[in-house]
Structure 1
């Protein structure tokens, strides 16, 4: 079985956050979604658990960071193309997210990103194949 990752993120308004990510094209696994949290499917092995702040707090004794005021983590996702990067950033902006930075083109890697409704930073990158298309 492939190893999976579940990124847990605190959100202020779960239905609003779910709608934001639906507008970006993501779906939610209803088996792991309730009024305290939602399991956003990013890929077959990557999931984001959007958890209400009170529920998120039950997993840690530390204070929950306010992502609109500080950055604790940057979630970076690979995309199949530069166009996919730009499409997701455009959808995020249209859905109410912010786009604080300009795209970065490093030749072999193209990246851009957005902040979701709670201020979490999502970076998107497309890397050109440098091995003749084998990787």
Structure 2
């Protein structure tokens, strides 16, 4: 028997909810789901990134609580996973890289042609790395 998921989510630890919401809205164009709370940010902070795909951003303390006792969070700036976003054109990769820069994110690897496609690496304000790619 195989499981059939109705949605898929990726949860990431963050340092600041307001800054993280603004970054993902401004850099990637993601819109948060839910009604804002007193700080102007929905709780939980969730973005719909595609059909059935969600990005959940959880403050570091809460993330540790969700993981449970005996599990440590990676230190800020440590990459334990690489998030991927497939795009249609090289121009989209280039534009998204510039959007990430304007929103305060980092670009550890500039757009370039690799054997697996036209790709770049971008990092959010908490150091989570995204690979932007147009496959050949």
* Normalised TM-score (structure 2): 0.83
2:108 equivalent in structure 1 = 100
- Corresponding residue pairs, total: 125
Compared with structure 1, are the counterparts of its residues 81 and 67 closer, same or farther at alpha carbon in structure 2 (3 Å cutoff)? farther
Aligned partner of 2:49 among 42, 57, 61: 42
Deviation at 1:4, TM superposition (A): 2.4
Secondary structure at 1:87's aligned position in 2? helix
- Aligned counterparts of 1:56 and 1:121: Cα–Cα separation in 2: 18
* Normalised TM-score (structure 1): 0.83
1:17 equivalent in structure 2 = 20
Structure 2 alignment gaps of length 5 or more = 37-41
Structure 1 alignment gaps of length 5 or more = 129-135
Q: Give the root-mean-square deviation of aligned CA atoms.
A: 2.0
- Aligned counterparts of 1:108 and 1:81: Cα–Cα separation in 2: 14
- Aligned counterparts of 1:122 and 1:66: Cα–Cα separation in 2: 18
